[in-house]
Amino acid sequence: MDVFVIGQAVHKPAARIGDKRLEELVFDTTHAALADAGVKRAQIDHVTIAGCDELDGRSISSMLLAAPAGAQLRDEMKCTDSGLTGLCLEAMRLEAEIFDLGLLVSWSKPSTAPLEDVMRMRCEPFYTRPVGLNMAITDGLFAQAAGAKYGFDEFDADEAVLDSYRRAGRNPRGMGHAVPHVEAIATSPYVATPLRQAHQAPITDGAVAMVVASARWLKSNPRAKPLARVSGIGWRNEEYDLGADRLAGLSGFRATLDDALKMAGVKSTADLDLLELDSQTGFHELAYRAVLNGHAPKAISTSGGAFAQNPYFCTGLINAAEAILQLSDQAGPIQIPGAKRAVAHGSHGFAQQGNVAVVLERV
């Protein structure tokens, strides 16, 4: 796959971005990505959007947000799974060779509506909604099942969270959450056992935009400097119904990484300089690392991942933006010298029903 990110922007995160209408958040981020790429909107021939109506509190949120995402009188397509799924779709659109220069825009402003109530309504009405599932409850189920399978417990999760906050604390683009004392994590209230409140990555508002180009466009615009190449993409869904195998098997996570690496011609995760994981809780971080055991990349979640910022839905695409900064030597104090190849991971749905992976390479 030969698709290139030539510019990007990530909005400054906040627990609640209260001073902007959603439309302004999207425009400002898109405008900044175009400026970073040094191209005008007039040059863009298509737009890909990743957005979630229910989180935005709008029945068809792209009605309002397509134009500020640069899509006025352009060929625009929207997926609703996750920001990183949007990057996979955008990469295929360019690889199909009907377009040359695109915008990929994704946003999430969970502060607009009670997130867990929106998640609760993802339950079908017959079997699960009367009982009541949401993100935290399914993550609690996952934590128990994965812990039993891979041999970790909540004390290990306390340490994993602490470690994530330490990495996040070094990332100047994150929220700058204070690193909590391990005791504070261990005594925070249970949300859904064994998951405690402090095991969860705090939800934030945010937006991210990328300018993405075909190889053909780069050839005819030699002055443009690509930040990174997208060389592999993978995304898979697992079953909606939660059983022990579905929860702890992590088959979607494994298959997604395999798909993306295979397309990029990379043999193993051990050949990666960086893997940015979308770990919504400390238990997720432990489970993903357990799967990678023996084939660990050189670095994992250097940015701090969801503990740096977590605009739920966009977090995987933020991981991609962080990986792209590493591959273009723009990661600042957390730069991995000479990083050549990275994978951004994203997850979505109850107990990561969906997983996404994108292989990015230095140009």
Partner 1 sequence: MAKDIVAVIGAAQTKFKTHYADKTYIELAQDAAKLAMDEAGVTPDEIDAVVFSMAPTQFMGVNDCDRWATSHVWGAGKPYMRIHAGGATGGSALQAGYVHIASGVYRTVLVVGADRVAETPDAQHILNLIWDRFYEHDFALNTVTMTALAAQRYMARYGATEEQFARVVVRGRKNAMGNPYAHLKGAITVDDVMNSPRVAYPYKRFDICPRSSGAAAVVLSNLDVAKQKCARPAFVNGVSAITHSVFMGDRMGVYSETEFADHDGEHIAAYEAYRQAGITDPASQIQVAELYDPFSTFQFPIVEGLGFCGRGRAAAISDEGGWDMVGGQVAVNPSGGTLCTNPIGVTGLVRIVDAANQIMGKAGQNQLPGVHNAVATAAGGSTQFFTVTMLGDDHVAPRTNV
Partner 2 sequence: MSAAAAIDDVIHGEWHVRYNYSVGKVAGHFFEGLKQKKILASFAPSSGIAYLPPRAYCERSFEPCDGWVEAGHQGIIEAATIVTAAFENLPPPPYAIAYVRLDNVSTALVNFVRGLDLSDVPAAASKLKPGTKVKVVFKDTPEGRITDFHYELAE
* Segment interacting with partner 2, rule: CB under 8 A, options 120-128, 134-142, 262-270, 323-331: 120-128
CA distance 24 to 74: 19
Among candidate residues 302, 268, 307, 261, the one with its CA nearest the CA of residue 284? 307
Identity of the residue numbered 313: F
Q: Enumerate residues 337-356 that contact partner 1 by CB under 8 A.
A: 349-350, 353-354
With CB under 5 to 8 Å by kind, the binding choice for 113 among partner 1, partner 2, none is partner 2
Contact predicate 230/196, CB 8 Å:
no
CA distance 90 to 208: 14
* Segment interacting with partner 2, rule: CB under 8 A, options 63-71, 209-217, 238-246, 349-357: 63-71
* Segment interacting with partner 1, rule: CB under 8 A, options 122-130, 143-151, 172-180, 337-345: 122-130
State yes or no: residue 188 binds partner 1 (CB under 8 A). Answer: no
265-283 residues labelled b (16+ CB within 10 A) or e (exposed): ebeebeebbbbbbbbbbbb
State yes or no: residue 57 binds partner 2 (CB under 8 A). Answer: yes
Binding mask 95-114 for partner 2 (x = CB under 8 A): --------------x-xxxx
State yes or no: residue 60 binds partner 1 (CB under 8 A). Answer: yes
Q: Is the dihedral of CA 110, 113, 114, 116 positive or negative?
A: negative
Question: Beta strands 206-214 and 101-108: pairing type?
Answer: antiparallel
Continuous segment of H or E residues that includes residue 190: strand 190-192
Q: Enumerate residues 36-55 that contact partner 2 by CB under 8 A.
A: 40-42
Count of residues binding partner 1 (CB under 8 A)?
61
If the CB atoms of residues 2 and 23 are measured against partner 2, the closer one turns out to be 23
Could you tell me which residues come within 8 angstroms of residue 208 by beta carbon, excluding any fewer than 6 positions away? Answer: 8, 9, 10, 11, 29, 83, 105, 106, 107, 314, 317, 318, 321
If the CB atoms of residues 25 and 91 are measured against partner 2, the closer one turns out to be 25
> From the CB of 111, what's the least distance to partner 2, in Å?
8
Among candidate residues 275, 276, 286, the one with its CA nearest the CA of residue 160? 286
Question: Judging by beta carbons within 10 Å of its beta carbon (0-12, 13-18, 19+), is residue 84 exposed, middle or buried?
Answer: buried
Q: Which residues bind partner 1 (CB under 8 A)?
A: 1, 21, 47, 52-54, 58-60, 62-64, 66-67, 71-81, 85, 88-89, 91-93, 95-98, 118-119, 121-126, 233-241, 251-252, 255, 259, 263, 349-350, 353-354
Q: Which residues bind partner 2 (CB under 8 A)?
A: 17-24, 27-28, 31, 34, 40-42, 57, 67-68, 70, 72, 109, 111-114, 117-118, 121, 125-126, 129
